[in-house]
């Protein structure tokens, strides 16, 4: 049995300002950093072998805080962000002294980025609701198939998150590796929808809190055998 820890990043500056965020790359605020530190302490009894994060800084910060503030999460190993050495920007970065089996690799994946909010990005959610109505804003935010103007529906987001989840993350879990995944409200909702076997009627009711880890027990066939929410 392997453990899959999913964590939505801590509160960002735009969560606090109630603005549609999507791909806008805002950092955690002070509350968010505290939430990530609290999550790290709740994860003290867990040990991971590998981690995945989106490319957005709020998820990267949350990953770094969890892996460095938790007593045991790295099991004494050193967390290292694994940039793509084939990318000219990063060419040669991976030549350094030290044993790779003494590291927790952290893979950065665009597939885990937040759902793209298109033309809504930057707008205040409450002001938008005054303009177009609560129901419309709720449909844009929580329905499975409705696209916000110029953006991705949850269904579109799932088309990139789920293949990545099945190919890259589940493969580790089937082999018995414990995995940490730090990502976003909606990119994680698409993954939780699959893990919890939710249908399109149920998914609008699924809310993930910032900085609250979900721990899944995954068997060697890739099936979910248990779930704990570390509130
Ligand atoms: O603004 C966003 O990108 C997301 C996550 O914070 O918000 P919502 O809860 O509206 O999907």
Q: What is the ipTM of this complex?
A: 0.96
Percent of residues in the chain assigned helix, strand, coil, to nearest 5 = 40, 20, 40
Whether residue 114 has its Cβ less than 6 Å from ligand 1:
yes
What confidence tens digit (pLDDT) does each residue in 94-148 have? 999 999 999 999 999 999 999 999 999 999 999 999 999 999 999 999 999 999 9
Closest to 180 (Cα-Cα) out of 188, 155, 132: 188
Sheet (strand 224-229) strand order: 78-82, 103-108, 50-53, 179-183, 2-8, 213-218, 224-229
DSSP string, 6-18: EEEPPPBHHHHTT
* Best probe residue, ligand 1, of 29, 114, 150 (max atoms within 8 Å of C-beta): 114
Total length of the chain: 231
CATH fold of 2-89+101-229 reads Rossmann fold (3.40.50)
The verdict on the CB of residue 29 being under 6 Å from ligand 1 is no
- Dihedral of the alpha carbons of 85, 87, 92, 97, in degrees to the nearest 10: -30
What's the 187 CA to ligand 1 centre distance in angstroms?
Answer: 10
- For the stretch 145-195, pLDDT in tens is 999 999 999 999 999 999 999 999 999 999 999 999 999 999 999 999 999
Residue ranges at the known binding site for substrate = 8-15, 21-22, 58, 114-117, 125, 141-142, 185-186
Quick one: which atom of ligand 1 is closest to the CA of 185?
5
| Whole-number Å distance between alpha carbons of 200 and 144 | 6
């Amino acid at each position: 049995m392997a453990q899959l820890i999913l964590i939505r990043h801590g509160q960002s500056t735009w969560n606090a300002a109630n603005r549609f965020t999507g791909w806008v790359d805002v950092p955690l605020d002070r509350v968010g950093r505290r939430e990530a530190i609290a999550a790290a302490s709740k994860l003290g009894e867990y040990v991971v072998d590998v981690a995945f994060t989106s490319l957005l800084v709020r998820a990267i910060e949350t990953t770094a805080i969890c892996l460095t503030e938790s007593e045991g999460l790295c099991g004494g190993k050193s967390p290292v962000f694994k940039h793509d050495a084939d990318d000219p920007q990063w060419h040669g970065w991976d030549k350094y002294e030290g044993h790779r089996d003494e590291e927790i690799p952290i893979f950065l994946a665009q597939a885990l980025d937040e759902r793209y909010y298109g033309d809504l990005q930057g707008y205040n959610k409450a002001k938008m609701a005054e303009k177009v109505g609560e129901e419309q804003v709720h449909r844009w935010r929580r329905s499975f198939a409705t696209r916000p103007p110029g953006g991705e529906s949850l269904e579109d987001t799932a088309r990139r998150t789920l293949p990545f989840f099945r190919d890259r993350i589940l493969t580790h879990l089937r082999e018995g590796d414990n995995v940490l995944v730090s990502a976003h409200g909606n990119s994680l909702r698409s993954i939780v929808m699959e893990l919890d076997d939710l249908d399109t009627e149920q998914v609008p009711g699924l809310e993930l809190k910032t900085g609250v880890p979900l721990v899944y027990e995954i068997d060697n066939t890739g099936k979910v055998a248990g779930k704990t929410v570390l509130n």
